Amino acid sequence: MKLKITFLSLLAAGALFYSCKTKAPTDSRLGNATREDKNGWIYIHLAGAPADIGYQHGYLVAKEIDTMIKVLQYYLPPSSGKDWAFYRGAAQRFIWKKIDKEYQDEIKGMVDGLQAKGFKYDTLDIAAMNAYYELPGYYVPMLMEKEKPGSGDNRAPGNCSAFIATGSYTKDHKIVIAHNNWTDYIVGERWNVIADIKPAKGNEFLMDTGPGFIHSGDDFLITKSGILITETTITQFKGYDTTKTPEFVRARRAAQYSNSIDDAVKIMTTDNNGGYANDWLIGDTKTNEVAKLELGLRDFKLWRSKDTAFIGTNFASDPKLIKEETTFDVNDKTTSPNARKKRMEQLVHVQYKGKLDDSTGKAIEGDHFDALNNKSAYDRCVIDGHVDQDPLGCKEFHEGPFFPMGAVQGKVTTAALAGKMQFWAHMGHPGGDDFLAAPFLKAHPEYAKTQSKYLRDMKAYPWTLFSASN
């Protein structure tokens, strides 16, 4: 009998590891908010007025928000040359006043939720964290350029591999969209929240995100209005305007208020500050049309069609934008963006044309074929990136040999799944490989000083289907 009880206890513990659902305790501000830990992800359902949504988020994900801020406080000084006080100062000087009131209220609510759990952060901490991509990657390089022209080159982040397709490119001739997030492992291993947000105004949306973010950040989301959005960043982009609206605010607006491709384009291009310059891939399941919005600071271009496949691997396409706003060499075949572009074209436009669905989308986002060297590999050139195993590093992203970054998770959905407010998500390398911190740091002690305190294992979990709550 004792053995039986022990066995059942172990079974229960194992189930808890893979899926643990937590219902919020009785509290009028928490409402019906829930948290479920599943296959490396934290799924949260949030609903109500902005302040209540923020409170629910801050309360249910308090420990993870605390850790994320501590990671940034530790990691940003060596990686960007600026400390957390600098980023809080930027949030105070020009970020906060450009945040819509409803999102200010959401951030204030998040602070309340954090403080209810004993964490003493304020609105500037949360605002600075939400501007994580645009302040170190765009604002700081702009300041560097003013001091010394050329010193800000290669600082804009190079994140993500994605596609959106429709018409003759997909199995059912409806939209398929897929994305994997490339980022530094020290942050990306914690980019593990699936947020279902049902706001009092606008559309319900389901997105992947980081703890404490009011927007997706790496940008993969589906909405109740049938709009699907993802993006990949423009490599070696230069430009930033502190007087305009932050990217994270515009991205959140687009998620919540877009009912068409035109809506999303208008929101993203209006009062654009150039932060986190991207190729936005947008679909509308109501019309079966997809679009690519290449958005810089001064320049942008839009392509759209009901029979095409747009891809993104951190390259720009518009010659004017490339010339005026980047330092990227489109002819250098050895760069990660260009090598991945070649492979993505092989897969999306040729091998899987007419077969694209959620299954082939998963295969693409986990692909390990190096089209530059024509072999299977684990390096900067594959869609499921492993810069940590590349002796050349990734110079176009300002990263040295074996730098610990690459693909940290993936997401895929189809029009049929999105109609049910569902998408597939994979925490860890979409190809299924684990990153283990201790062996890495032993092999590469040069990164111990700047990484060891918070760099941890990034296990590859199974693909998991997530749904918005009813």
Q: Is the dihedral of CA 260, 265, 270, 274 positive or negative?
A: positive
Cα Rg, the chain, nearest whole Å: 21
Per the prediction, the chain carries an average pLDDT of 94
Q: 69: helix, coil or strand?
A: helix
Phi-psi region of 297 (alpha: psi -120 to 50; beta: other; left: phi over 0): alpha
State the CB neighbour count (10 A cutoff) for residue 345.
Answer: 16
Q: Report how far residue 46's alpha carbon sits from residue 35's, in angstroms, rounded to the nearest whole number.
A: 9
Write out pLDDT tens, residues 134-161: 999 999 999 999 999 988 888 888 889 9
Q: Report how far residue 153's alpha carbon sits from residue 151's, in angstroms, rounded to the nearest whole number.
A: 6
Cβ-based burial of 60 (10 A; exposed 0-12, middle 13-18, buried ≥19):
buried
Write out pLDDT tens, residues 367-419: 999 999 999 999 999 999 999 999 999 999 999 999 999 999 999 999 999 99
Which residues, 6+ apart, have CB-to-CB distance to 412 below 8 Å? Answer: 176, 177, 178, 179, 358, 361, 362, 365, 423, 424
At 360, list the tokens. 């082939």
DSSP 388: G
The DSSP-derived string for 222-257 is EETTSEEEEEEEPTTB----TTSB-HHHHHHHHHHH
DSSP 458: B
Amino acid 452 reads S
pLDDT above 70 as % of the chain = 94
CA dist list (Å): 86 to 21, 125, 164? 38, 11, 38
Q: Report how far residue 462's alpha carbon sits from residue 465's, in angstroms, rounded to the nearest whole number.
A: 10
Query: Closest by alpha carbon to 429, among 23, 7, 31, 40?
Result: 40
Cβ contact 181:188 at 8 Å: yes
Please count the CA atoms within 13 angstroms of the CA of 43 that sit on its side-chain side: 23
E strands in 326-468: 369-370, 375-376, 405-414, 422-427, 464-467
Q: Is the pLDDT of residue 179 over 90?
A: yes
Q: Report how far residue 453's alpha carbon sits from residue 62's, in angstroms, rounded to the nearest whole number.
A: 20
- How far out from the chain centre does Cα 250 lie? 15
Query: What's the whole-number mean pLDDT along residues 177-203?
Result: 98
- Kindly list the structural domains of the chain, giving each domain's residue range(s) and its CATH number in brackets, ordered by start: 159-467 (3.60.60.20)
Write out pLDDT tens, residues 36-67: 999 999 999 999 999 999 999 999 999 999 99
Amino acid 168 reads S
Residue 20: predicted pLDDT: 61
State the CB neighbour count (10 A cutoff) for residue 28.
Answer: 7
DSSP 329: -
